Amino acid sequence: MSRIIVVTSGKGGVGKTTTTANLGMALAQRGHKVAVVDADFGLRNLDLLLGLENRIVYTAVEVLAGECRLDQALVRDKRQPNLALLPAAQNRTKDAVTPEQMKKLIGALTKAFHFILIDCPAGIEMGFQNAVVAAREAIVVTTPEVAAVRDADRVVGLLEANDIKRMYLVINRLKPAMVEKDMMMSVKDVQDILAIPLLGVVPDDEKVVVSTNRGEPLVLSTETQSLASTAFANIVRRLEGEKVPFLDLTPPPEDFLSRMRRFFGQKP
Amino acid sequence: MTSDPFISAAGTPIVEQAVPQVRFKSEGDRLLLLLPLESEAAATSWADLWQQFKQRLNANERFWQAHTPVYLVARDRLLDGRQLQAIADALSDAQLYLKRVYTSRRQTAVAAATTGFSVEQQSPAQGFEAGKALAEPLYLETTVRSGVEVRHAGSVVVLGDVNPGSSIIADGDVLVWGALRGVAQAGAKGNLRCVIMALRLEPTQIRIADFMARAPEQPPDQYIPEVAYVALEGIRIARAADFSKDRLFPPES
């Protein structure tokens, strides 16, 4: 049976789409047939992150209107043939689709794919309802910030009310050095409030910005092996049920000189 | 979600009119599912109602024997066949079954009958709601998450955390076996003797009767179980271990 997972957060800008793109690509690399669905009608981004923008012909809205077949709308990734994208319409709003239509669409995808990742829009209105209605599992993405965690908490409550019992937490953009200095919420602080199983912690990484702009998910690039891409790869292995130890994200020890300075009570 | 009940309540420490909520009440070996009156809670849409229902269902699951009959007291609420079926399905997922629907609305009665439930038109609600005494305590085994507001005409016991952004408003006491990080109000009808207890008291705000208090700007070094109560100078906090019993049961004077 295929797994239908919605990637959601409540707050915008915490990395839902980046997470969807990277997890989708990493799952495909491990031999699964993966469909990533952009449920962010009117503000679609997933195609950009995957670098598939210029290959979109039809979108989900045309499929629902009966103007094309589902497989015509699916965009296959040339670099990774196991991965397909179902794009959202850019010229419509969230009300263009109903939950029933979304359910039908996802149901049709389960016939050909093992994993279906749904990229949920920010907010908890119609777009959210559409994105979660067909999902059986959820990945809740948050950053270690009070506002993001507050919204994630609200979303967890709504997912529970929508009968999604299996939820996993991904903490994105953690800055270990700041946590060390007690300037940022730690993984434990976030877990204390949200109380759902932790799937992974992705450290803040400039390479993510570069890969996003290039339309090339981080896990795809072979020349640069970054902590963030390892984190995404680990998350995928945990999704498969494997027990993978969490990355050691403690900041590298200070050099001898700055340690001595601190010892003598000087400001570095 | 157009209206967030929490925002509207946040500014006013005293709640003039408690918004009735969906709740379960056990009566002998049967279970009543009480829906709020449509006339009292006109603003509660079906979506809100459904969410409250699911939350209460999830938070109480452990206490119900399998195959307990549930009597839906719909009162004057208009429900269609699809909604009734949704309620029945959710109940059966929790190993409960919908035995009968009580309603005072003819349309709801017709919908229930056509969907195949036994119906009693004429409200039996008076019998369930008589008296001014506090309702039996509401026991919730769940994390009360941001955006959730729990109102109850009695004491509220939460086995779990009360997260920031949520609120608990009780006419009686509020007991949290976990961390209280949201807003809690005890004695919402004005009872000064009500208390708020938590294993970890770090609330956004606490209110007892007409009094209100915020958490200190500087969080304490470590948290111990504490009790908030009303003294002459307003709301006071005491260590649970030191909280003298005669505050709970003041000597007759």
pLDDT digits over B170-200, tens only? 999 999 999 999 999 999 999 999 999 999 9
C-alpha A175/C-alpha A196 separation (Å) is 21
Average pLDDT value for residue range A64-69: 93
Percent of chain A scored above 70 by pLDDT? 93
Q: Is A215 helix (H, G, I), strand (E, B) or coil?
A: coil
Residue A108 is predicted with a pLDDT of 95
Residues B146 and B244 in one domain: yes
Inform me whether the pLDDT recorded for A22 exceeds 70: yes
Q: What is the largest CA-CA distance in chain B?
A: 62
Tell me the chain B residues in contact with residue A151 when contact means C-beta distances shorter than 8 Å. Answer: 146
Q: How confident is the model at residue B246 (pLDDT cuts 50, 70, 90)?
A: low
Residues B99 and B140 in one domain: no
Sequence-ordered list of residues with C-beta below 8 angstroms from that of A47, at least 6 positions apart, any chain: A38, A53, A56, A75, A85, A87
Inform me whether the pLDDT recorded for A246 exceeds 80: yes
Instruction: Locate the DSSP E strands across A13-136.
Output: 34-38, 75-76, 83-86, 115-119
The domain boundary residue, chosen from B77, B100, B129: B129
Query: How close are the terminal C-alpha atoms of chain A, in Å?
Result: 57
Inform me whether the pLDDT recorded for A223 exceeds 90: no
Q: Is A19 flagged in the annotation as binding? A: no
In this complex, which of B1, B55, B143 lies closest to A195 when CB atoms are compared? B143
> For residues B166 and B145, is the Cβ–Cβ distance under 8 A?
yes
Residues B123 and B158 in one domain: no
Residue B127 is predicted with a pLDDT of 45
Residue B125 is predicted with a pLDDT of 47
> For residues A14 and A39, is the Cβ–Cβ distance under 8 A?
no
- In this structure, what is the dihedral angle of CA atoms A247, A249, A250, A252, given to the nearest 10 degrees? 110
Residues B124 and B11 in one domain: yes
Q: Is B147 at the interface with chain A, CB within 8 A?
A: yes
Q: Helix axis angle, A16-29 relative to A227-239, nearest 10°?
A: 70
Inform me whether the pLDDT recorded for B132 exceeds 90: no
Tokens coding A153: 């908490």
In this complex, which of A125, A150, A192 lies closest to B146 when CB atoms are compared? A150
Q: Is residue B169 part of a domain?
A: yes
Q: In what order do the strands lie in the sheet with B135-140?
A: B135-140, B154-159, B174-180, B196-201, B226-231, B234-239
Which run of H or of E encompasses A168? strand A166-174
Q: Is residue B224 part of a domain?
A: yes
Inform me whether the pLDDT recorded for A67 exceeds 90: yes
DSSP 8-class letter at A121: P
Residue B252 is predicted with a pLDDT of 53
Residue ranges of domains in chain A, CATH in brackets? 3-263 (3.40.50.300)
C-alpha A171/C-alpha A139 separation (Å) is 10
Q: Is A131 helix (H, G, I), strand (E, B) or coil?
A: helix
Residue B8 is predicted with a pLDDT of 32
Question: Could you tell me the pTM of the whole model?
Answer: 0.79
Q: Mutation target for B interface from A193, A194, A196: give the one with most B CBs within 10 A.
A: A193
Domain of B51: which CATH number?
3.30.750
Residues B142 and B243 in one domain: yes
Tell which residue, B42, B38, B118, B55, has the closest CA to residue B84.
B118
Residues B189 and B212 in one domain: yes
The domain boundary residue, chosen from B129, B148, B179: B129
Q: How confident is the model at residue B31 (pLDDT cuts 50, 70, 90)?
A: confident
Residue A259 is predicted with a pLDDT of 67
| Number of alpha carbons in the 13 Å side-chain half-sphere of residue A48 | 11
Domain of B242: which CATH number?
2.160.20.70
Q: Is A158 at the interface with chain B, CB within 8 A?
A: yes
Residues B142 and B237 in one domain: yes
Average pLDDT value for residue range B193-208: 94
Domain that holds residue B190: 135-248
Residue A38 is predicted with a pLDDT of 96
Residue B61 is predicted with a pLDDT of 73
pLDDT digits over A134-167, tens only? 999 999 999 999 999 999 999 999 999 898 989 9
Residues B140 and B215 in one domain: yes
Residues B83 and B42 in one domain: yes
Q: Closest-CA residue in chain B for A124?
A: B1
In this complex, which of A150, A163, A195 lies closest to B161 when CB atoms are compared? A195
Q: Closest-CA residue in chain B for A165?
A: B58
> For residues A225 and A207, is the Cβ–Cβ distance under 8 A?
no
Query: Is the ipTM above a cut-off of 0.85?
Result: no
Q: How confident is the model at residue B60 (pLDDT cuts 50, 70, 90)?
A: confident
Chain A, residues 185-204, CB within 8 A of chain B, namely 192-193, 195
Tell which residue, B175, B74, B85, has the closest CA to residue B128.
B74
Residues B98 and B23 in one domain: yes
The answer to which of A38-42, A240-244, B215-219, B245-249 has the lowest mean pLDDT is B245-249
Q: Is residue B206 part of a domain?
A: yes
Sequence-ordered list of residues with C-beta below 8 angstroms from that of A56, at least 6 positions apart, any chain: A47, A75, A87
Percent of chain B scored above 90 by pLDDT? 37
Q: Is A37 helix (H, G, I), strand (E, B) or coil?
A: strand
Query: How close are the terminal C-alpha atoms of chain B, in Å?
Result: 50
Average pLDDT, rounded, for chain B:
81
Residue B122 is predicted with a pLDDT of 64
pLDDT digits over B154-172, tens only? 999 999 999 999 999 999 9
The answer to which of A141-145, A184-188, B18-22 has the lowest mean pLDDT is B18-22
Q: Which of A4-8, A91-95, B190-194, B234-238 has the highest average model confidence (pLDDT)? A: A4-8
Q: How many domains does chain B have?
A: 2
Inform me whether the pLDDT recorded for A253 exceeds 80: no
Q: Is A127 at the interface with chain B, CB within 8 A?
A: no
Q: How confident is the model at residue A177 (pLDDT cuts 50, 70, 90)?
A: very high
> For residues B180 and B198, is the Cβ–Cβ distance under 8 A?
yes
Residue B250 is predicted with a pLDDT of 58
Tell me the chain B residues in contact with residue A158 when contact means C-beta distances shorter than 8 Å. Answer: 51, 147
Q: Is residue B253 part of a domain?
A: no
Residues B121 and B204 in one domain: no
**CB–CB contact A160 B58 (8 Å):** yes
> For residues B182 and B162, is the Cβ–Cβ distance under 8 A?
yes
Average pLDDT, rounded, for chain A:
91
HEC-encoded secondary structure of chain B: CCCCHHHHHHCCCCCCCCCCCCEEEEECCEEEEECCCCCCCCCCCHHHHHHHHHHHHHHHHHHCCCCEEEEEEEECCCCCHHHHHHHHHHHHHCCEEEEEEEECCHHHHHHHHHHCCEEEECCCHHHHHCCCCCEEEEEECCCECCCCEEEECEEEEEECCECCCCEEEECCCEEEEEEECCEEEECCCCCCCCCEEEEEECCCEEEECCEEEECCCCCCCCCCCEEEEEECCEEEEEECCCCCHHHHCCCCC
The domain boundary residue, chosen from B104, B129, B154: B129
Q: How confident is the model at residue B12 (pLDDT cuts 50, 70, 90)?
A: very low
The answer to which of A237-241, B38-42, B89-93, B217-221 has the lowest mean pLDDT is B38-42
